[in-house]
């Protein structure tokens, strides 16, 4: 449980990346920055566009974005504009490809009771899915935010070439504070349909200290045997639930 109202989290992925801006002259960077005001990341998030609206950089390893579904072709980018519920925020996405994969490391901010089932679009009751409203969304190059109407949590996302940064602001609930929580669903990823699970070949999670969680997994989806490693660090100490050492230890169902 998190005792303070605002939590910052950063997730870093391993591998190689490059910074496009560093290779541009200063004048060119200034002109480019002015043009971003004309960019609408929501274009292509409906129909058969297969685009995600979240934060990323050119040639970056992280595509930090909201996931509305993970089990049908229309939502293979993780986000479909007509969906009415939100699963959480994951760190890898394909844009415009029509290929079904990625959606690694889902982070779900919640208050009160922590539910560990993801549910489905058709049956979201009793799950960690939450309603969403486009009126509460903001998307611009390198930044995404949303206020979740059911719990009042404000989520803000941005990314560097090798890391994603989250900021969650939880509402003050007075003396009946039900607590602020982050659910980490390491079993989440794209899957073929609502009846099947994400095809994980192996996975692991390890608590390094009260601020840091690291993990690895291998996924067999569109890309065969894809491997990802991550390190997640919180801006303040947290009390980790015992699900990691308990009944959900099976590598296919890692949730914390």
pLDDT digit string (tens) for the chain, length 256 residues: 444 457 777 777 653 232 333 334 555 555 556 888 899 999 999 999 999 999 999 999 999 999 999 999 999 999 999 999 999 999 999 999 888 899 999 999 999 888 989 988 888 889 999 999 999 999 999 999 999 999 999 999 999 999 999 999 998 765 456 688 999 999 999 987 777 788 889 999 998 988 999 999 999 888 888 999 999 999 988 887 655 443 334 334 444 4
Which whole-number Å values give the CA distances from 71 to 97, 121, 195, in the listed order?
Answer: 16, 10, 9
Q: What is the pLDDT of residue 249?
A: 41
Q: Which of 112, 75, 69, 72 is nearest to 87 (CA)?
A: 69
Question: DSSP letter at 171?
Answer: P
- pLDDT confidence of residue 12: 74
Number of helices (H), then strands (E), belonging to the chain: the values are 1, 15
User: Residues 6 or more apart from 143 whose CB is under 8 A from it?
Assistant: 55, 156, 157, 158
Torsion of CA 89, 90, 94, 98, to 10 degrees: -70
Q: Can you tell me the distance from the alpha carbon of 5 to that of 7, in angstroms, rounded to the nearest whole number?
A: 7
pLDDT of residue 57: 95
pTM of the model: 0.84
Angle at 94 (CA atoms; ends 88, 100), nearest 5 degrees? 85
Instruction: Report which secondary-structure segment, H or E, holds 34.
Output: helix 26-35
Q: What share of the chain is helix, strand, coil (3-state, %, to 5)?
A: 10, 30, 55
Q: What letter would DSSP give residue 46? A: S
Q: Which H helix or E strand runs over 103?
A: none
Asked if residues 73 and 119 have their Cβ atoms less than 8 Å apart, the reply is: no
Q: Domains in the chain, start-ordered, CATH in brackets?
A: 6-253 (2.70.98.10)
The DSSP bridge pattern shows strands 6-13 and 163-169 to be antiparallel
């Amino acid at each position: 449980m998190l005792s303070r109202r605002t939590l910052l989290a950063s997730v870093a992925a391993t591998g190689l990346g490059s910074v496009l801006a560093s290779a541009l002259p200063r004048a060119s960077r200034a002109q480019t920055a002015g043009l971003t005001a004309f960019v609408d990341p929501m274009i292509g998030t409906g129909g058969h566009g297969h685009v995600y609206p979240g934060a990323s950089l050119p040639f970056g390893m992280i595509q930090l974005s909201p996931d509305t579904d993970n089990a049908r072709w229309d939502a293979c980018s993780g986000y479909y504009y007509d969906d009415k519920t939100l699963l959480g925020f994951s760190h890898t996405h394909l844009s415009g490809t029509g290929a079904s994969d990625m959606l690694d490391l889902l982070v779900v901010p919640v208050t009160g009771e922590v539910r560990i089932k993801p549910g489905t679009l058709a049956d979201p009751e009793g799950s960690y899915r939450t309603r969403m409203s486009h009126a509460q969304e903001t998307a611009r190059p390198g930044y995404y935010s949303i206020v979740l109407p059911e719990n009042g949590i404000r989520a803000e996302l941005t990314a560097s070439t090798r890391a994603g940064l989250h900021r969650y602001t939880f509402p003050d609930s007075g003396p009946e504070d039900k607590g602020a929580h982050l659910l980490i669903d390491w079993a989440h990823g794209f899957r073929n349909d609502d009846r099947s699970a994400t095809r994980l070949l192996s996975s692991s999670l390890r608590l390094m200290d009260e601020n840091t969680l690291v993990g690895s997994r291998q996924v067999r989806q569109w890309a065969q045997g894809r491997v990802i490693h991550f390190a997640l660090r919180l801006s303040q100490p947290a009390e980790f639930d015992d699900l990691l050492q308990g009944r959900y230890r099976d590598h296919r169902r890692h949730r914390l």
